[in-house]
Structure 1
Amino acid sequence: MKKLLLIILVLLAAPMLALHGAQGADKPVTLRLAHFFPATHPAETELVQGLAKALDEATKGRLKIVSYPGQTLLAAPEIYDGVVTGIADIGLSCFSYTRGRFPLLEVFELPGITYENSKAASRVAWDGIKALAPAEVSDTKLLMVLATGPGDLFTKVAVRTLEDLKGLEVRATGLSAKTLAALGAIPVAMPQSEAYEALSRGLVKGNLSPIEVLQGWKHAEVTDYLTLTPFLYNTLFFVTMSKSVWEGLPVDLQAAIEDVSERIFLDVAMGLWDEQNEAALTYAVETTGQQVITLSEEESARWNALVTPIQEEYLADMERKDLPGAEALQLAKELSEKYNAMY
């Protein structure tokens, strides 16, 4: 009798369980995306919102992204670890904000390698990381890596020679700090979100960054000179997902995320800084009167001679850590030639 009663209860419950399961399956997956850019920055309006919209369309509403810009969920240096620990499901930030955490990837930010634009720099970094598959990023699911391409010096005083740069406090992060120190400047580490106030208060006298910062972060308001230094700088940004969240998604949603991420990388992310740099340069010169300084060939050679040895230091450091530094550096040089010619 008990067995019969149990069977009846199971049969009665089955439709309810099936309905609950269907509702659970239909319920959208919502992912929290943390980043440090202002809500008005193209990294939010074009990249993040573009990714969110494309994923919503590709999954027919089954996957939603809620963005938390401007460090509202996590501070810039905490974003990668925040994704690892589950505070955010997806994060967008700079590798260089946690210097030493990603040693092999520093190859793509080494001075002495010229990137003509952000398209070339982004393709070099993303292709290179796929080929190298470094263990240092294996604790998350990388969706894409993009780069600023060349960066320049924005300063309160004119910098035309090494002598002008010597002893100047300049905001920098990651490997850029080492580069500036080699040139005689005094690097001051801070995220981009703090640089405007530091410049306005005179805590630093300059910034080494892509030109878009003059407009996107309003640095043209607090600096007067722009010294072009395309051989000094490149910064990598990651868009990465919690590994546990990734592994918990259905296979079809995983496929949609990979497909959409690659499409957004090619259509939006890899050239995001090029368009901004052009607009910001026009804005800075025409609106705020920024003075552009181009180094002479002789002066550029002096600067390069001081920063190129950093590549040798990188190789020695990678050898101590038993990482394939020589392979990574050769790959970065080969890919930069390929994509500089293409873009």
Structure 2
Amino acid sequence: MSSVHAQKEGPIKLKLASFFPGTHPAETELVQGWAEAIEKATDGRVIITSYPGETLLKAADIYNGVVDGVADIGLSSFSYNSGRFPEIEAFEQPGIVYKNSKSASKTAWEGIQELDPECVQDTKLLMVIATGPGDLFTRKPVNKLEDLVGMQIRATGLTADTLALTGAVPVGMPQSDAYESLSKGIVNGNLAPIEVLKTWKHAEVTKHLTRTPFLYNNLFYITMNIDKWNAMPEDIKNIITEVSLEYQEKVGIGLWDRQNQAALKWAIEEEGIEIVELSEEETQRWIQKVMPMQEKYIEKNGEAGIRALETAMRLAEKYNDEY
């Protein structure tokens, strides 16, 4: 179909489902900026309407919702569908330390392009960004491994299995349910990037932060229904690809770094949150506890798992040096 014909038929209107609140920078800075840039670059031939805050699809339903055409585009976390994306789980394995979200995001995107895994071929992947290191926010202080034993911690996907090895009791729930659960004492903590202290208001219900960059990395995707993508004119595909790469680089890869810095300052100054820095000796105790996750991953995924894990480690080293 020619671009002129497409214009005569009216603009291509796309629905985007996201679990992030409408006030979250992932919505206000990334999604809205990206959607506006695509509309402008296509001269109004593509109009994207975002449905944030799980108003169209719940977090765990977004990927399948895109596959099934309930949404044309989806923004969510791979970790909400544990086991569905085996190669991608390599980039979230504990024991791999990412210096920041830029390093983690560049590692993830380049690694996924290199591996080209079958698990994401049923949609058109437009962006992958990562949080980088995450930390433990708790109602009671966690100064050593023993303090975590028996503590109920909100976690999803791979991080839930990781936490279980430390002696904690992982409780699966989306980030959107964590505030209420923390405030009511249903869970005693959360393992997440620092930004949740402010953007999800968790500093109001947790008063202690233990730095654990070796425990956590979370990958998010923006992906499109494959039939919708294939039906688009080539010039529009090229524009969407170009704008997506631009926004991934300009906004996406550093999104959590910017949020984390602002949130930590705010949480300390406004909410009085206390920071616990583990000693090197204590850090190694924690790492030794969770390293079986990598062994389990290789056992489950064989040669493909080895390749994915080696790719993640190699690129993490490269981009930690760069960023």
Shorter-chain TM range is over 0.9
The equivalent of 2:19 in structure 1 is 36
Larger-gyration structure (1/2): 1
Q: Note the C-alpha offset of 1:57.
A: 1.3
Gaps of at least 5 residues in structure 2 are none
Q: Note the C-alpha offset of 1:103.
A: 1.4
Write the distance in 2 (CA, Å) between the matches of 1:314 and 1:285.
37
The equivalent of 1:333 in structure 2 is 313
AA partner of residue 182 (structure 1)? L
Q: TM-score, normalised by structure 1?
A: 0.92
Matched, 1:149 2:129: no
The equivalent of 1:267 in structure 2 is 250
Q: Note the C-alpha offset of 1:37.
A: 0.6
The equivalent of 1:111 in structure 2 is 94
The equivalent of 1:137 in structure 2 is 120
**What SS does the corresponding residue of 1:102 show, helix, strand or coil?**
coil
**What SS does the corresponding residue of 1:208 show, helix, strand or coil?**
strand
AA partner of residue 47 (structure 1)? L
Q: Note the C-alpha offset of 1:178.
A: 0.8
Q: Note the C-alpha offset of 1:277.
A: 0.1
Matched, 1:255 2:238: yes
Write the distance in 2 (CA, Å) between the matches of 1:117 and 1:230.
9
Equivalent residues, number: 320
Write the distance in 1 (CA, Å) between the matches of 2:286 and 2:106.
26
Q: Note the C-alpha offset of 1:309.
A: 1.8
Once the two structures are superposed, the pairs formed by residues 178-193 of structure 1 within 5 Å of their partners are 178-193=161-176
Write the distance in 2 (CA, Å) between the matches of 1:305 and 1:43.
34
The equivalent of 2:295 in structure 1 is 312
Q: Note the C-alpha offset of 1:25.
A: 3.1
Write the distance in 1 (CA, Å) between the matches of 2:257 and 2:199.
13
Q: Over residues 102-132 of structure 1, what are the superposed CA-to-partner deviations in whole Å (9 max), with x where a residue is unaligned?
A: 1121000000000000000000000000000
The 1:169/1:209 distance shift into structure 2, 3 A limit, reads same
Aligned-residue Cα RMSD (Å) equals 1.0
Q: Note the C-alpha offset of 1:308.
A: 1.2
AA partner of residue 340 (structure 1)? N
Contact 1:183 1:306 (C-alpha < 8 Å) held by counterparts:
yes
Q: Note the C-alpha offset of 1:27.
A: 1.1
Gaps of at least 5 residues in structure 1 are 1-20
Q: TM-score, normalised by structure 2?
A: 0.98
Contact 1:26 1:62 (C-alpha < 8 Å) held by counterparts:
no
**What SS does the corresponding residue of 2:257 show, helix, strand or coil?**
helix
For residue 122 of structure 1, the aligned residue among 99, 105, 116 is 105
The equivalent of 1:12 in structure 2 is none
Of 303-312 and 164-173, deviating more is 303-312
Matched, 1:324 2:300: no
Q: Over residues 237-277 of structure 1, what are the superposed CA-to-partner deviations in whole Å (9 max), with x where a residue is unaligned?
A: 01000001001100100000100000000000011000000
Once the two structures are superposed, the pairs formed by residues 159-198 of structure 1 within 5 Å of their partners are 159-198=142-181
